[in-house]
A and B are shown apart, each in its own frame.
Chain A
Amino acid sequence: MTKPTLATVWLDGCSGCHMSFIDMDERLLEIAERADIVYSPLVDTKVYPDHVDLCLVEGAVSSEDDLRKIKLIRERTGTLISFGDCAITANVPGMRNPIGVQPLLERAYLENVTLNPGAPTEVVPALLPMALPVHRVVKVDVFLPGCPPSADLIHQSLVDLLEGRTPDTRGARFGR
């Protein structure tokens, strides 16, 4: 019997949730035994596989690229997990929402810059009008709040999911 597949994705976030994921330490080996980690910033795969059983999504949906990615991921994923506050509430990336894209870019790339001022227009994807929680864009199955979620919570939730249970997220909270 093949092992279930696991992916982790990094959208608009600080990667802190992934750090917390790594904080599972030796329990990572246990997870690796139970599931194949097929796609992640931590492994060297360029293309999201056609079918993934579990996917942890870190970060808000902030750019057109994020939007395209998350739609594709949703199509190809069994259980999608909003991983950490940015994915759930937009959190720190969402702090730009009251400001608006244009004033934001002007502030960052014109007003506060002395060398070559000018907002980037090429290569980088365009920002969406608002940084959005993942579940505003696609259906999300499980929410793991925390900034970041603790390694214990991540571990317990993954074990629960791998064993076919609804994860017990008691004690999970926004922020610390």
Chain B
Amino acid sequence: MSESAPSAPPAPPKRPRRAADGLRPLEGPARASAYVCEAVSCLSAQSHDILLKLGEQVSGAGLKDVEVKRVGCLLLCASGPLVQIPGTGQLFSNVRPDDLDAIVEALADVTPGEQRAPEAPFFSRQRRIATENSGRIDPESLDDYVEKGGFEALRSVLTSMTPAQVREEITRSGLRGRGGAGYPTGLKWNTVAKAVGSPKYVICNADEGDPGAFMDRSVLESDPYRVIEGMAIAAYAVGASEGYVYCRAEYPLAVSRLRKAIHSAGRAGYLGLHILDSKLGFEVDVRLGAGAFVCGEETALIASVQGGRGTPTTRPPYPAVAGLWDQPTLINNVETFANIAPIIRKGGAWFAGIGTSTSKGTKVFALAGRVVNTGLIEVQMGTTLREIVFDIGGGIVDGRAFKAVQTGGPSGGCIPAEFLDMGVDYESLVGVGSFMGSGGMIVMDETSCMVDVARYFMDFCREESCGKCAPCRVGTTQLWILLDRISHGGATLDDLAQMERLGAMVQRTSLCGLGQGAPNPIFSTLRYFRDEYLAHIVDRVCPAGVCAIEPAPVPV
């Protein structure tokens, strides 16, 4: 529809695909392709060497019509480096640079035009919206993104929709914040749109800090343009003119790809003044976080963007009303923005048709822990934990017994086996004492000690507490001391009772979500695994054999 708009700039000319840096471009169209994952986990396993070597070997074998291409995350991260042949759906895992013959051989046999997805349940059970381009495009190529329909949504928004219509479409989709709390995105956009003040800001929260979670990193590394497009659409919908991506500095590749993407999107007219010759002017800049977990909390994030110390402030006022520089500010998570373009392209109703009654669409999870397949997955809301752990995840390593799955990071909880058939959405997770969070999902088996798990997360919280409010600053340390005492066999039942009282107090009185959520791992493990706590305290044994019980309790 938007293609016919008279104001649209001419589409970039088609030219032979430029392969990734360091490779010679093809002269004609490619008969077959090899996709080499260059997201950070494969890169750290030397996937760039593989890319170059594979290029050499392909040329050496005289395969002039074979393209070797850098792509984003191929999802099965723990088995990297990964190389995929999209023509046959073959996925080569744990590839070594000196052992590429099988790939070259397979490339020789590809019939042109065919595209097949890998058949393994790890892939076939997923439903990919936010990560649809991940592992399919070169993340540093704007052409690639545009070829897959990129910026179509922005174009159609600018040429044929009013801001109110955009917000309505997002509201209709039922999309909820993917950062954790699940606040309805449409409602947030409407609040910012109605808030009085100018300029308004759009901030993309890429300060992903949950242990074991890397969804946002992967999206930024694999498909940065999608996030920019989502932000630009949001800017149009709420009337914002400036945007920031707040990304942790521990993600250098994501930051560099994002910066490149912002630069090239700006040159191509997708950012800047008069985007696509419309009235929309929107600039995006990257701000780096210094690794403080609390900066994922929106008020702390804003303080950090402003150049101050990243400490949270009391809400209200909410950022939607008085955020960055006290102006109305829309803050959404990377994954939320990654869902915007598909919703606009295919319609809110389409998105609302996916998922459960309260949680629409899909959710990206970082599946980790004691499962066979660890990596990134995107599944429809309402997919059961059993499907995730046993079908997609391939079950527990070494055939051991499943014990629990931890979701929601340090504010989340552990879900025991009795809830394996529960469909995962925002409400069901809260119902069993956990939390969606940003999407970390850690699977534990019988060799995991739940006291140790709670202690680990409390250790994380006490280090990451900003120290501003007393209950969180002191309480998390005291809770950790109590957990440590339990795990060493030095605690009494009084200590356990005190820990529960203290946890409830910290939950109720802390200033921000970090402190309010910090006791959750304790409460959820106590809810389902109290017997393990009692074993440590009364019998002074660690049933899983993880904790080092000290020979005699020491008075403290």
B102: CB under 8 A from chain A?
A: no
Cα A82 to Cα B141 with chains together (Å): 73
Looking at A7-15, A24-32, A108-116, A129-137, the stretch in contact with chain B turns out to be A129-137
Interface residues of A in 79-132 (CB under 8 A from B): 128-130, 132
Cα A128 to Cα B556 with chains together (Å): 10
B555: CB under 8 A from chain A?
A: yes
Cα A86 to Cα B128 with chains together (Å): 64
**Distance (Å) between the CB of A69 and the closest chain B CB?**
14
Name the CB-closest residue of A to B494. A139
Interface residues of B in 514-556 (CB under 8 A from A): 554-556
Interface residues of B in 270-299 (CB under 8 A from A): none
Interface residues of A in 37-75 (CB under 8 A from B): 67
**Distance (Å) between the CB of A62 and the closest chain B CB?**
12
The count of chain A contact residues (Cβ–Cβ below 8 Å) is 7
* Chain A residues with CB below 8 A from B554, complex form: 129
* Chain A residues with CB below 8 A from B555, complex form: 67, 128, 132, 136-137
The count of chain B contact residues (Cβ–Cβ below 8 Å) is 3
* Chain B residues with CB below 8 A from A128, complex form: 555
* Chain B residues with CB below 8 A from A129, complex form: 554
* Chain B residues with CB below 8 A from A67, complex form: 555
Name the CB-closest residue of B to A137. B555
Interface residues of B in 284-330 (CB under 8 A from A): none
Name the CB-closest residue of A to B554. A129
Cα A136 to Cα B554 with chains together (Å): 11
Cα A130 to Cα B556 with chains together (Å): 7
Cα A129 to Cα B555 with chains together (Å): 9
Cα A132 to Cα B555 with chains together (Å): 9
Cα A1 to Cα B213 with chains together (Å): 73
- Write the A129-159 contact mask toward B (1 if CB under 8 angstroms, else 0): 1101000110000000000000000000000
Interface residues of B in 77-92 (CB under 8 A from A): none
* Chain B residues with CB below 8 A from A130, complex form: 556
Cα A98 to Cα B554 with chains together (Å): 17
* Chain A residues with CB below 8 A from B556, complex form: 130, 132, 136
Interface residues of B in 367-383 (CB under 8 A from A): none
Cα A129 to Cα B556 with chains together (Å): 9
Cα A67 to Cα B556 with chains together (Å): 12
**Distance (Å) between the CB of B550 and the closest chain A CB?**
13
**Distance (Å) between the CB of A135 and the closest chain B CB?**
11
Cα A1 to Cα B352 with chains together (Å): 84
Cα A132 to Cα B556 with chains together (Å): 7
Cα A23 to Cα B485 with chains together (Å): 42
**Distance (Å) between the CB of B274 and the closest chain A CB?**
63
* Chain B residues with CB below 8 A from A137, complex form: 555
Cα A112 to Cα B338 with chains together (Å): 67
Cα A170 to Cα B463 with chains together (Å): 38
Cα A136 to Cα B490 with chains together (Å): 13
**Distance (Å) between the CB of A128 and the closest chain B CB?**
8
**Distance (Å) between the CB of A9 and the closest chain B CB?**
18
Cα A152 to Cα B554 with chains together (Å): 37
**Distance (Å) between the CB of B456 and the closest chain A CB?**
25
Cα A137 to Cα B555 with chains together (Å): 7
Name the CB-closest residue of B to A67. B555
**Distance (Å) between the CB of B554 and the closest chain A CB?**
8
Cα A128 to Cα B554 with chains together (Å): 10
Cα A136 to Cα B555 with chains together (Å): 7
Name the CB-closest residue of A to B555. A137
* Chain B residues with CB below 8 A from A132, complex form: 555-556
Name the CB-closest residue of B to A132. B555
Cα A137 to Cα B556 with chains together (Å): 8
Cα A47 to Cα B121 with chains together (Å): 77
**Distance (Å) between the CB of B491 and the closest chain A CB?**
13
**Distance (Å) between the CB of A72 and the closest chain B CB?**
15
Cα A1 to Cα B52 with chains together (Å): 100
**Distance (Å) between the CB of B225 and the closest chain A CB?**
54
* Chain B residues with CB below 8 A from A136, complex form: 555-556
Name the CB-closest residue of B to A128. B555
**Distance (Å) between the CB of A59 and the closest chain B CB?**
16
**Distance (Å) between the CB of A87 and the closest chain B CB?**
15
Name the CB-closest residue of B to A129. B554
**Distance (Å) between the CB of A101 and the closest chain B CB?**
13
Cα A151 to Cα B552 with chains together (Å): 41
**Distance (Å) between the CB of A98 and the closest chain B CB?**
14
Cα A67 to Cα B554 with chains together (Å): 12
Cα A128 to Cα B555 with chains together (Å): 9
Cα A103 to Cα B556 with chains together (Å): 19
**Distance (Å) between the CB of A103 and the closest chain B CB?**
19
Chain A interface residues toward B at CB < 8 A: 67, 128-130, 132, 136-137
- Besides the known contacts A128-B555, A129-B554, 7 further A-B residue pairs in the complex with CB atoms under 8 A apart: A67-B555, A130-B556, A132-B555, A132-B556, A136-B555, A136-B556, A137-B555
- Name 9 A/B residue pairs within 8 A (Cβ), A-sorted: A67-B555, A128-B555, A129-B554, A130-B556, A132-B555, A132-B556, A136-B555, A136-B556, A137-B555
- Give me the 4 closest cross-chain CB pairs, A-B, nearest first: A137-B555, A136-B555, A132-B555, A136-B556
